Amino acid sequence: MRKPRQLLPGARYHVIARINRGEFLFRNEKFKELFLAILRRAKRKYRFAIETFCVMDSHVHLIIRPATGESLSRIMQWILSVFAQHYNRIHNLFGHVWCGRFKSYILHTDQQRLKAHAYIARNPVAAKMVPSICSYQYSAVSLILAGDFSLVERPPTEILLMYHALDSDPSLIAMAALWPETIEK
């Protein structure tokens, strides 16, 4: 029997969804674009804020905050199932695209929130996909540092300053990798 998902009204969640079998499905930029288009559609369908996101080759990270009365599970089920339907239709496939349920962790404190933002922002650099966090176009950081808040909400000053610091000093990326994860076991 699976453990019930921890939910808390008004909470921020670090959400992780992994592609089935660890495949690099998102290596094709067309599918990264498709995922972002579906996120935009979800924002029109449901009431929730996206603080940050990063679409990696085999998984996605989000920090989202559902509005009062909205369900994290319903939002994520819609996003992931609509993506899977489109992907399968494009490739004339059927079956699972995602590896089990998405994982979600409540960010209870400002410190957990800051660490989750740093962890998500540094993912593409740690994976050696790009040299700096702002050069990865499938991350909220590139949008935020460009002043584009069409998909994500404007971050508080301390997160914005952290993004600028991580972008300007690559040694901080390595230090961020040493920070304990925000994920509660």
Per-residue pLDDT tens for 116-136? Answer: 999 999 999 989 999 888 889
160 phi and psi angles, rounded to 5 deg: -60, -45
Confidence class for position 172, pLDDT limits 50, 70, 90: low
**Who has greater pLDDT, 17 or 93?**
17
Architecture of domain 13-178: 2-Layer Sandwich (3.30)
Is the predicted pLDDT of residue 182 greater than 80, yes or no? no
pLDDT value of position 45: 97
Q: How many beta carbons lie within 10 A of that of residue 167, not counting itself?
A: 19
Is the predicted pLDDT of residue 175 greater than 60, yes or no? no
Q: Are 60 and 52 in contact (CB under 8 A)?
A: no
Is the predicted pLDDT of residue 181 greater than 50, yes or no? no
Tell me how far apart the 2 most distant CA atoms of the chain are, in Å: 46
pLDDT value of position 53: 97
**Who has greater pLDDT, 171 or 180?**
171
